[in-house]
Chains A and B, each alone.
Chain A
Amino acid sequence: MSKPVLTVRNLRVSIRSQDAPAMAVDGVSFALREGEVLAVVGESGCGKTKTAESLMGLLPTDTWDVQADAIELDGVNLPMQNEREMRKIRGQEISMIFQEPQTALDPVFTIGNQLCSIYRRHRNKNRKEATLAALDMLQQVGFADPRRILHSYPHQLSGGMRQRVMISMAMACRPRVLIADEPTTALDVTTQAQVLSRMTLLGREFGTSILLITHDLGIVAQYCDRVLVMHAGRIIEKATVHELFTDPQQSYTRRLLAAVPQVRTA
């Protein structure tokens, strides 16, 4: 068994409020191992996204209260880092892609402009080196004509293309951990497959562990190694994908599996 890259112990996230604080994440612990794809499944509002955002340190502290015994990335405890150090870690060591590729890219700049700025910022490359690296990266996420993509504006690309651009941006610095928050929910099924296979392929190639947040059990079965089932802010079941589908332990997990519509032939 490979060693853990990201270890989370007793993560608690709550909304700051005058009256009773509302817990969004209530004592979550898990370990993400090197090179694996770990799925987090659960219904809407069960705390999947808040778990991800708190790992990145992206929750505004004036409205959210994040506490944890430990969030360790390669032995570095993230909550102990100040904002300046966190900025270095974000994008380089741990990065994230979001649900809506439509709004996750800045509409007024070209893809090349946005992708190159990552290389220039985190890798200190000059304009020419950054462009070459960006072209290479776009090719790796499956664009046949990266030069055209580089000069395109986000509105000129389809949803699947934009999500692949997002993956190229998130993976640009070969991070240790990639958090993908429902990356394909807004896409149709064929595009979904294309985007996810590119993402997992790159993950394996770069040695990036992926935390894949989803509510689609079909995706879990196809792309993931292990699964965490979340319900009401807690992890109620941890299992390998095989175990989960053959022998679910919790009644909630069984109901979740039963909720997937099946095609039956009479």
Chain B
Amino acid sequence: MRSGRRLWTQLSRDKGGMTGFIIVLFFLLLAVGVWAGVLGQDWSVANGGRWESPGAEFWFGTNLLGQDVFQRSIFSVRTAFEIGIVVAVLSTFVGAILGALAGWYSNTWVDGTVLWLMGVLDSIPFYLFVAAVAFALQGNAWAMQLAMIATFWTTTGRLIRAEVMKIKSREFILSARAIGLPDPLILTRHVLPNTTHILLVQTSIAFVAAIKTEVILSFLGLGVHDGVSWGLMLAESTQEVLAGHFGNFLAASLMLFTLVMGFNLLTDALQDAFDPKQAAL
């Protein structure tokens, strides 16, 4: 669409954005490494003693069961990315479709229904909603993701609805109708592509939000059940920190902090780079 090269030049001039980009890229490589079976494979092996101190063999020490904390924190990158990507892509997709329909058919029953649905979902306290979904889908590994998608799409939906209402009154939509294009084609070919800047930024925001939410939910015992995540590590650490073992706590919070900060820097830079008002300068 808008030329990728210009986007890149703008991004590379932004120091914060580049830092964020490099951090995200680094974490992405870690995740790929875990997927490929190269990194963090020994996360569940208990080959050390209980609560060993950080050292050459175990960089962040070991936990209660003698598992390597560093290996666990690396494997958690994969958990975070899997949840982040699934939730970000699907929630943005749902938000784009429903938001576009509401905006295109504004002031009709379609719009009314979508707005009503958004209102209902937004009015339920989030953690209560997740707990309810998790309870309803007992044991289902996707309960957490489903709950996040069901609530995250509303923000994107509202933004897209407003943008579509703006775009549909622009003259190129009128001229598309004047040359005889049917409505569905205008919506998919000319309206939605004009909202890509919002969709990209919303995807990256949803990604960070999903990772943070996963940590909180896992900490509360509503999230990841099989496998490991930073949230589970933090939950373990609540007992350990009092006893003076900081391995789990430090490893999980440092990783989470770095990734979220890197992603926020990147998102900010993307937002600036995509802003049509700036691009016009």
A: residues with CB less than 8 A from B are 56, 58, 86-92, 95-100, 103-109, 117-118, 121-122, 166, 169-170, 172
Contact = CB atoms under 8 A, between A and B. Distances in A.
A88 B175 contact: no
Given A106-B190, A108-B2, A95 B179 contact: yes
B43 to A, nearest CB: 44
A108 B177 CA distance: 17
A239 B181 CA distance: 36
B254 interface: no
A109 B172 CA distance: 11
A191 B116 CA distance: 50
B180 A109 contact: no
Interface of B: 1-2, 170-172, 174-182, 189-190, 193-194, 196
B175 A104 contact: yes
Contacts of A109: 190, 193
A109 B181 CA distance: 16
A100 B180 contact: no
Contact of A96 (B172, B175, B193): B175
A78 to B, nearest CB: 13
A170 B171 contact: no
Contacts of B172: 103-107
Contacts of A88: 180
Contacts of A86: 180
Contacts of A99: 171
Nearest to A97: B175
B179 A91 contact: yes
Given A98-B174, A100-B171, A107 B194 contact: yes
Residue of A103, A106, A166 with highest tally of chain B CB at under 10 A: A106
A87 B193 contact: no
Given A100-B171, A106-B172, A108-B1, A91 B194 contact: no
Nearest to A118: B179
Contacts of A87: 180-182
A91 B171 contact: no
A122 B180 contact: yes
Nearest to A155: B280
A88 B176 CA distance: 13
Contacts of A121: 180-181
Nearest to A107: B194
A98 B176 contact: no
Contact of A58 (B170, B177, B182): B177
Contacts of B2: 108
22 contacts: A58-B178, A87-B182, A88-B180, A90-B178, A90-B179, A91-B180, A92-B180, A95-B178, A98-B171, A98-B175, A98-B178, A100-B171, A104-B171, A104-B175, A106-B172, A107-B194, A108-B1, A108-B193, A121-B180, A121-B181, A122-B180, A169-B175
- Closest 7 CB pairs between A and B? A91-B180, A91-B179, A90-B180, A103-B171, A96-B178, A87-B180, A104-B171
A117 B180 CA distance: 11
B193 A166 contact: no
B175 to A, nearest CB: 5
Given A96-B175, A96-B178, A108-B196, 4 more contacts: A87-B181, A103-B172, A166-B175, A170-B179
A86 B174 CA distance: 14
A105 B194 CA distance: 12
Contacts of B1: 108
A106 B179 contact: no
Contacts of A172: 179
A218 B136 CA distance: 74
A109 B190 CA distance: 9
A256 B174 CA distance: 30
A88 B179 CA distance: 9
A86 B179 CA distance: 10
Given A104-B172, A108-B193, A91 B182 contact: no
Residue of B175, B176, B177, B196 with highest tally of chain A CB at under 10 A: B175
